Amino acid sequence: MKKIIMLLMVCVLILGGCGKKKNTVHSLDDLKNKSIGVQMKTTGDIYVSDIEGAQIKRFNKGLDAVKALRKGVVDAVMIDDAPAKVFAERFDDVEILSEPYAEEEYGIAVNKDERELLGQIDQALQELKDDGTLGKIVKAWLQDGETQTAYET
């Protein structure tokens, strides 16, 4: 049986050296009493409420939160690792805080006696990859900064 586990880190994006506003976040402790942007309905949105005195600004898209960071509207952005890497690569004035805020594991669990179900899951994942749906999702949510619809329902 295959075991699929993906480790996801929730990262904090901060301004690099050439930002319009001086960076005031150098560690997780510095997030207290700061304005923090998040994409609505993500784990970052959940975690940020635990930060003492944080003023939370919610955005429909991660890219919008990053734009707010770059304009100095928020002091930091809490976002998942994969989009954080894309945004940090795309914008030279944005960087990822060296320590992750949280680590999460995701996976697909299947009873070891359910070989047929495991085969169906593997087949569905392969079909999504082969027909380009997974690529479209990655492109829409990561590479293009959520500027398009990932797939048609």
pLDDT tens profile 67-95: 999 988 999 999 988 888 888 888 888 88
Is 64 strand, coil or helix? helix
Of 134, 118, 135, nearest to 3 by C-alpha is: 118
The total of other beta-carbon atoms located within 10 Å of residue 90's CB is 12
What are the distances in angstroms from CA 48 to CA 52, 76, 86, 123, 128? Answer: 9, 11, 21, 37, 33
- The predicted model scores a pTM of 0.70
Residue position matching structure tokens 């929730």: 10
Enumerate residues 6+ apart whose C-beta is below 8 A from 109.
Answer: none
Mapped onto helix, strand or coil, the DSSP state of residue 71 is helix
Say whether pLDDT at 35 is over 50.
yes
Q: Which of 13-17, 23-27, 128-132, 149-153 has the highest mean pLDDT?
A: 128-132
Q: Closest Cα partner for 69 from 24, 32, 8, 9?
A: 24
> Please, what's the largest Cα pairwise distance for the chain?
57
Structure tokens at 128: 């999504």
Instruction: Say which DSSP state 100 is in.
Output: -
User: Where do we find the tokens 């996801």?
Assistant: 8
